Amino acid sequence: MKLLPTAAVFLGLLGACASSPPDHFYVLTAQPPTGGATQTTPAVQATLKVSLPSLVDRAEMVLNTSADAVTVLEHERWAAPLIDLMTQTLAQDIERRRGDLLVGHNVSRSSAPAIKITVDMVQVWMRRGARASIETHWRILDTRNGKEVAGGDIFTAPLGQEGYATVAQALSQCIAKLADRLAEQMPRTE
């Protein structure tokens, strides 16, 4: 039996589709506070704005393979835009550390937030078998008195070889360390 060229191409494509690896999706998770924060009723609204380098702000995980090379993992993906996952996780981490704040949730238009937090993720670096790190700069503005705190640091967490879920976990730990620092530097609401 002789196959027509079109049928042969179709069967080849069908076979290629059937053998492609499945996609895996990952999320970031808020981490418990290291010092045991006191929970109170949220009294002060805060806004949070986070920016990411375009290199990592994509659906696929991006891992560093050397100081000047990366690999984009086509089938290891974030379940939502990475900027959204990082902003949401950082907001939850701050709230867990500062029970007197409500960060980025339902800030009413009629009243300005008391605290404005801006975080610039200058660099996000992840390498399996090594570590994950985020280099950040931040500004915290207390709109009630105009006082501003600015800072920056690098936060790291170990990243094992086993599975890509460890990448998400290590990045979550880096964000939690950033939240610890921000919570320390934010003005008290009493």
CA angle, corner 130, sides to 124 and 131, nearest 5?
Answer: 35
Alpha carbons 124 and 129: distance in angstroms, whole number: 16
What is residue 36's predicted lDDT score, i.e. its pLDDT?
A: 59
β-strand partners of 125: 133
Alpha carbons 69 and 19: distance in angstroms, whole number: 28
What is residue 68's predicted lDDT score, i.e. its pLDDT?
A: 86
Following DSSP, what letter does each residue of 43-110 receive, concatenated?
-EEEEEEEE--TTT-SSEEEEEEETTEEEEEEEEEESS-HHHHHHHHHHHHHHHH-TTEEESSS--SS
Tokens of 45: 């609204």
Residues of the chain with pLDDT under 50: none
Q: What is the 8-class DSSP label of residue 143?
A: T
- Closest among 111, 64, 89, 100 to 173, alpha carbons compared: 89
Q: Which amino acid belongs to residue 37?
A: A
What is residue 184's predicted lDDT score, i.e. its pLDDT?
A: 93
Give the predicted TM-score (pTM) of the model: 0.83
Q: How confident is the model over 90-109, as pLDDT tens digits?
A: 999 999 999 888 898 555 55
Q: What is the 8-class DSSP label of residue 154?
A: E
Alpha carbons 165 and 21: distance in angstroms, whole number: 17
- Closest among 16, 26, 38, 1 to 169, alpha carbons compared: 26
What is residue 99's predicted lDDT score, i.e. its pLDDT?
A: 87
